[in-house]
Amino acid sequence: MRITTWNVNSVKQRLGHLLGFLDEAKPDIVCLQELKCVDDAFPRTEIEEAGYVVATHGQKAFNGVALLARRPLPLQDIRRGLPGDPEDVQARYIEAGIPTPGGVLRVASIYLPNGNPVGTPKYDYKLAFLRRLHAHARALRESEEFVVLAGDYNVIPERADAADPDAWIHDALFLPQSRAAFRALLNEGYTDGLRACDERPGVYSFWDYQAGCWPRNQGIRIDHLLLSPQAADRLVSASVQKHLRGLDKPSDHVPVTVDLDLD
């Protein structure tokens, strides 16, 4: 089972890149973030014609998450929105169950808040979202299903996850509170899928459009797939599809993928 997370930074602008990736990599499940469109504007027809079923949780011009499943896989028991705050209307979380020969796989696509500028309600919202995610992740882990919490976490976990970590010291992505909240998910029993397979420094998933970050490889790793113990036991490999950052008019993120043996 190949599961990919990708912040496409506007699904309509990157549709050609997305369709090319689906044809090239043939992922079974794709978790998309930052759709920047409402559900009715999502390019459902094109993606369905590429062989995928679609579930979306969209928002006009901002945020937005989606799950794609390659047929004949279904998306069942779909949840839109992270539990814990009924007043939160931002489209940042979608979750579904997928039956597999080994049992139910529960996958979430998550777009965590950036949190900048620090010292404002935006950072408070980020930390509150992370606390809610921790509580829900615990409940999912206790279900003893295969769980993959995938997405743009907007957290740089360690210094090795940034080309220039000192440049991020005062940024919401790298503050101690943000990193501690991410570690709390790992301490809950989740495994960082990519790091379980590749501990090398210099492995990034995001390069800013500014200041020549891409040609100078000034990247950071903020896109993660966290695996429950049951899913981590079935982890085969993990990879970053870095070459997609070199396309014409790319997203500033690239896909990150794990392969699980769920037969």
Active site residue 136: no
Which one of 134, 136, 224, 253 is the catalytic residue? Answer: 253
Active site residue 17: no
**169: pLDDT strictly greater than 90:** yes
User: What pLDDT, in 10s, does the model give residues 39-88?
Assistant: 999 999 999 999 999 999 999 999 999 999 999 999 999 999 999 999 99
User: What pLDDT, in 10s, does the model give residues 184-212?
Assistant: 999 999 999 999 999 999 999 999 999 89
Which one of 17, 57, 136, 152 is the catalytic residue? Answer: 152
Which one of 111, 123, 190, 204 is the catalytic residue? Answer: 111
Provide the H-helix boundaries in the chain.
15-25, 44-49, 121-142, 176-187, 193-197, 229-232
pTM exceeds 0.95: yes
CA dist 176 and 239 (Å) reads: 27
pLDDT band at 127 (very low <50, low <70, confident <90, very high): very high
For domain 2-260, which architecture applies?
Answer: 4-Layer Sandwich (3.60)
pLDDT for residue 211: 84
User: What pLDDT, in 10s, does the model give residues 218-251?
Assistant: 999 999 999 999 999 999 999 999 999 999 999 9
pLDDT for residue 55: 98
pLDDT band at 110 (very low <50, low <70, confident <90, very high): very high
Active site residue 111: yes
Judge contact between 257 and 147, C-beta under 8 A: no
* CA-closest candidate to residue 258, choices 183, 192, 175, 202: 192
Binding residues for Mg(2+): 7, 34, 152, 154, 252-253
Binding residues: 7, 34, 152, 154, 252-253
Q: Is 147 left (phi over 0), alpha (psi -120 to 50) or beta?
A: beta
Mean pLDDT rounded to a whole number for the chain: 97
